[in-house]
Amino acid sequence: MNKAPWVFLGVLFTLSLSWWGMVYGPASQLAGQSADKGDGTAVLPRVGLAKQGEQVYRENGCYYCHTRTATGGEFGYELRLSQLGGDREITDEVLGKKVTAENTRLINLAFEFKYVVAAKKALDDASKALTDAKEKVQELKDAVVVAKENLSDKTASFKKVKADVTENITAQDKKDTILFEAYGLSGVEIKDKALMIELGMGEQIIDEHRKIANEAIIKLTDGKAQWSDIEDMVRGLKTRAGAQFKLQPVVIDWPDVQNGVALRQSVTRDFMHDTYAMPGVMRLGPNLANAGGTPALADSNQFYVHLYQPRLINEESAMPPYRYLFRKVKLNAGESVPDNALKHADLEEDYAIIPTEKAEALFEFLKSLRTDALPEAPIVENQKPADDQ
């Protein structure tokens, strides 16, 4: 420590460690980040006015009072089974004893749908083979008879299970709901009208029932389960049972989501196309991570009036007015107010307040700020009140 060159080299080396970790590492990791969302869509860059608006936001130093960062929080998983696989035994083994009695009955009915459809397909195949056959006709006739008996058995079994499931239900619409939920969960498609009537589905599936079938899910967990609790079940459903499901994060304690600030946590890809990333310093004003998704920006006039004179919208607002982003034009007698002029009862009469291009650009930029779903940051649902569940 008595030779300056050594101290100099030591300083260079020591500083390079934090430089490596905080500058080079992230710059190289994030430089290769893909815009692809994995579903055929991509995180798109801002263009036009919204792009210009980013510069207006920077020029005015808006990032000192507004953040664009939604923080993370505590959440659990709601495991939503949307379609059953083909093997009942494996499905039962994977699901274990975690399924409620009510859902078990629904699963039973869904599998009955599968059995009936399988039996119907076997009958159709046998009938077709008989029609096409030129030899071994008797043998094929016997097969058709067996297939018919099998279908009959399966249909009877279906009816029995259906009766069991709807035993204590009197309202027809509730019975229909259960029937079509099971139909949707089974993943099968029945087109034979006779069979549909036989199964109690009606001659034709009406839109309401189709909607029930399409949206049918079974909640295997209550939204408080952690990954470690459900990891085995998720892997089993995917790799062994062949079921279709969705892992929905649900809020346990997540203030930014519960307060409507954002729909999910902010991540690096939210800033990937920014010319200058401005995550923000303080929340003196609202967090703008999902500004484009809030009702405040649904009405452009409301936004412009707020920007022009915040106290016209909220008397206690501490936001300074940005009047220099507007043109104030004196109206001649009889002259009508331009369409794009601000509309508010407390604005000066005989004048039209017109947003400049910078104000319009800022509006477009704010509208472009959204926390839409990304694979690495799915939208987190709020816990529904108990009576909604």
Partner 1 sequence: MSESRDNIASEAAPEEINASCRWPVMFLFFSAALWLVKAAIIGVMGSAKLHVPEFLSDISFLTYGHLQANAWVAFLFGFGGNAGLGLTLWMLSRLRGAPLARPGFVIAGTVLWNVGVTAALVGITLGDQNGVAGLELPVYAGRVLLIGQAFIAFSAILTYFSRRHKQLYPSTWYLIGALVALPWIVGTAHWLLAAAPVRGAAQIPVGHWATTSLLQVWLGCLGLAAVLYFTPKIIGRELFSRQWAAFGFWMLLLLGGWVNLNSGSPLPVWQIKLSQFANGLFIFVVIAVGWNLRQTARGVPLLGSENLTLKFMGFALGAWVVSGLFTFCNVFPEWNAILQFTYANTALRHLFAWGFFAMAMLGGIYYVAPRLLGADLDWPCGRTVRWVYRLIAVGVIIITLAGVGMAWDHGQALQQIGVDAMTLQTKAIKPMRIAFLGEILFTVSSFIFLGSLLCLLSRNCCGELSPMALWRQIREAKMEGKTEGGAQ
> From the list 51, 65, 331, 351, which residue makes contact with partner 1 (rule: CB under 8 A)?
65
- Specify the amino acid at residue 258: Q
Considering the complex, state which of residue 238 and residue 370 has its C-beta at the smaller distance from partner 1. 370
- Dihedral of CA atoms 70, 72, 78, 79 in degrees, nearest 10, equals 100
> From the list 121, 136, 193, 283, which residue makes contact with partner 1 (rule: CB under 8 A)?
283
Shortest Å distance, C-beta 302 to partner 1: 15
Give residues 32-51 in contact with partner 1 (rule: CB under 8 A): 33
Residue 180 DSSP SS3:
helix
> From the list 83, 124, 271, 351, which residue makes contact with partner 1 (rule: CB under 8 A)?
271
* CA atoms 103, 105, 108, 110: torsion sign: negative
Cα distance between residue 299 and residue 104, in whole Å: 48
Cα distance between residue 179 and residue 167, in whole Å: 13
* String marking each residue 294-323 x if it binds partner 1 according to CB under 8 A: ----------------xx--x-xxxxxxxx
> From the list 98, 175, 273, 344, which residue makes contact with partner 1 (rule: CB under 8 A)?
273
Q: Which stretch binds partner 1 (CB under 8 A): 102-110, 141-149, 199-207, 265-273?
A: 265-273
Considering the complex, state which of residue 26 and residue 86 has its C-beta at the smaller distance from partner 1. 26
For the chain, give percent helix, strand, coil, nearest 5.
50, 10, 40
Cα distance between residue 77 and residue 227, in whole Å: 7
Shortest Å distance, C-beta 295 to partner 1: 13
Question: What residues contact 60, with CB distance under 8 A and at least 6 apart?
Answer: 322
Shortest Å distance, C-beta 252 to partner 1: 12
Residue 274 DSSP SS3:
coil
Can residue 227 be called a binding residue for partner 1 (CB under 8 A)?
Answer: no
**Quick one: DSSP state of residue 79?**
E
> From the list 52, 67, 91, 221, which residue makes contact with partner 1 (rule: CB under 8 A)?
67
How far does CA 55 lie from the centroid of its chain?
Answer: 30
> From the list 52, 69, 166, 368, which residue makes contact with partner 1 (rule: CB under 8 A)?
69
* String marking each residue 321-360 x if it binds partner 1 according to CB under 8 A: xxxx------------------------------------
